[in-house]
Amino acid sequence: MFGKGKKTAAAPVSGPVEWLVVGLGNPGAKYQGTRHNIGFEALDALAEEAGARVDRLRFQALCGDALVGGRRVLLMKPSTFMNLSGQAVTEAMRFYKIPPERVLVLCDDIAQPVGRLRIRSGGSDGGHNGLKNIIYLSGSDRFPRIRIGVGQKPHPDYDLADWVLGKFSREDAQTLLKLLEVIPQACALIVEGRTDQAMNRYNSYGAPPKPPKPPRPSRESRETAEGEPAATGAPGEGSPAGETSGPAGCPGQPDGSGQ
């Protein structure tokens, strides 16, 4: 859906596989271009940049070799459904003796606005069934992940499965097309061992610009203000304090339970 057809000459790949980079999604044409499959799209963007092909069926996944961050990595798109992603991932982990810390997962996140990235070095599944299954089967949550914002449900009563298995609007697709251009750079930093730098650089990607700070008052205005009596409110008056909170929803598997 998002591919631009850019062709990059593949760098020679040799040596042992040092990392797994896994894009999460659901297999089959039925799910192409859906919010839940943005992990597949992100992996395709990385493969395209590296000049790699992800078309070899192995470990219950479509696989391909690539050079990322100067290291040989195995690119994976599990052919299981989302909530069974850990089967493919742990099979490859065991074969190549890859620890969780060297498994990078790309997936969707409905808690983030469209076009935002959230990079973490580990942590809970956040309600995402693909991450949950990887954590359960690997026995560890200490693997880095790049979560790609696909937007929250339009209202609380909207069916979660319908939302995550729905397709992007034209405007959102354009936003994500631009975001996918930075995925290869973010992945390379993480594979190079610079996850903190990746977080600092890309966790604010797509965020609205901060409003400018108000100008500092001049010395004369400060002196004038200091010489004036402070205004006092009437007894008993106060300002209400409000809280805003929202459910941190995360997409679900094809049957609609969770993400």
Active-site residue list? 36
Q: Would you say 35 and 175 are in contact if contact means Cβ atoms under 8 Å apart?
A: no
Bridge partners for 93 per DSSP: none
CB 190 within 8 A of CB 119: yes
195 contacts 144 by C-beta, under 8 angstroms:
yes
Contact 94, 65 (CB under 8 A): no
CB 13 within 8 A of CB 65: yes
DSSP 178-243: HHHTTHHHHHHHHHTT-HHHHHHHHTTTTPPPPPPPPPPPPHHHHHHHHTSPPP-PPTT-------
